[in-house]
């Protein structure tokens, strides 16, 4: 699993922060013993919300995602998975509850799609993450509610299969930014967040004349290719590129294992090397 140190045109902090990404396959049906183990570590309110989900598949995926957050955080701090308490912002972004005192500086965010979930963890920097494996409806590929005029023009130049994949790349960057800021889709029009991928390895945000809501220079964007586990987008507060660790993790079954990955693109100019390093 690469431990990424990048020389780029981003500011470099004297002490680089660390970004941890834990990727977990979502099993359905879930092993009954593992299901009971996960139910034993989530809170009563989480269990109640889980029970209200419409299907067993949704309940099992939600349960695994909640267990992933708790067990991943416990890799970095003393509380046991069942002891974590969380609070939510007015718009629903979860965070570590104030009862954990100094541990509240740990920031996390989670995303899941179909059969995989990913949780991002970082200290002292707001973080948003998104992963998408679903196919996209073709009618969305030219949506003026989602894409800026420049994005729509750029996508139209691509063959349809590549256009579908690139649309998801745009969508994931937008989602990661909104999640990092703790905003809902209703809080900011998606077409106002307009990433440009035309330069290989780069994510840029050209100024939109009709909007002052583009991400400013205080946010770092990255997209990682995790091979069979898909592509994940991350948005981090600040511009210093973190030391990045990605791992495959199945809570209460297997410890984190090195995950092969590569940096697809970022708001930095020089791509990461893929040299292995200990987790």
Instruction: Tell me what pLDDT residue 258 has.
Output: 92
**Cα angle for residues 70, 46, 183 (degrees, 5° grid):** 80
Q: Give the rounded percent of residues in the chain with a pLDDT score beyond 70.
A: 87
Rounded to the nearest angstrom, the gap between the alpha carbon of residue 61 and the centroid of all alpha carbons in its chain is 17
pLDDT at 279 over 50: no
Residue 10 pLDDT > 50: no
* 238 CA to centre of own chain: 16
Specify which of 15-19, 37-41, 146-150, 186-190 reaches the highest per-range mean pLDDT: 37-41
pLDDT at 4 over 90: no
Write the pLDDT tens digit of every residue in 143-178.
999 999 999 999 999 999 999 999 999 999 999 999
Tens of pLDDT, residues 202-228: 999 876 545 556 676 789 999 999 988
Give the mean pLDDT of 217-246.
92
pLDDT per position as a tens digit, 172-183:
999 999 999 998
Supply 213's token pair.
């809501």
Mean local confidence (pLDDT), 103-116: 95
Hey, is 210 helix, strand or coil?
A: coil
Tokens 């990461």 belong to which residue? 272
Comparing 13-17, 55-59, 168-172, 266-270, which segment has the lowest mean pLDDT? 13-17
CB 215 within 8 Å of CB 236: no
3-state secondary structure of 116: strand
Spell out the domains of the chain, with CATH numbers in brackets. 18-26+107-266 (3.90.470.20)
Residue 28 has a CB neighbour count (10 Å cut-off) of 14
Q: Tell me which of 11 and 69 has the higher pLDDT.
A: 69
């Amino acid at each position: 699993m690469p431990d990424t140190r990048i020389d780029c045109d981003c500011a470099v902090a004297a002490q680089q922060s660390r970004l941890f990404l834990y990727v977990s396959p979502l099993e359905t049906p879930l092993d009954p013993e593992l299901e009971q183990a996960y139910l034993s570590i989530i809170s009563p309110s989480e269990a109640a919300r889980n029970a209200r989900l419409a299907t067993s598949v949704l309940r099992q995926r939600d349960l695994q995602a909640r267990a992933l957050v708790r067990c991943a955080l416990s890799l970095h701090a003393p509380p046991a998975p069942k002891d974590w308490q969380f609070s939510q912002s007015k718009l629903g972004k979860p965070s570590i509850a104030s009862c954990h005192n100094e541990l509240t500086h740990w920031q996390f965010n989670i995303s899941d799609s179909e059969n995989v979930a990913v949780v991002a963890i970082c200290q002292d920097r707001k973080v948003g993450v998104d992963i998408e494996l679903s196919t996209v409806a073709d009618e969305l590929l030219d949506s003026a509610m989602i894409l800026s005029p420049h994005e729509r023009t750029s996508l139209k130049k691509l063959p349809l299969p590549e256009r579908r994949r690139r649309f998801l790349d745009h969508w994931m960057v937008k989602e990661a930014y909104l999640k990092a800021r703790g905003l809902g889709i209703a809080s900011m029009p998606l077409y106002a967040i307009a990433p440009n991928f035309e330069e290989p390895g780069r994510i840029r945000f050209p100024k939109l004349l009709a909007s002052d809501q583009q991400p400013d220079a205080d946010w770092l964007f990255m997209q990682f290719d995790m091979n069979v586990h898909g592509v994940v987008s991350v948005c981090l507060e600040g511009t210093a590129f973190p030391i990045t660790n990605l791992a495959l993790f199945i809570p209460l079954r297997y410890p984190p294992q090195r995950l092969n990955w590569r940096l697809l693109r970022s708001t930095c100019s020089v791509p990461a090397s893929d040299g292995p390093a200990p987790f």
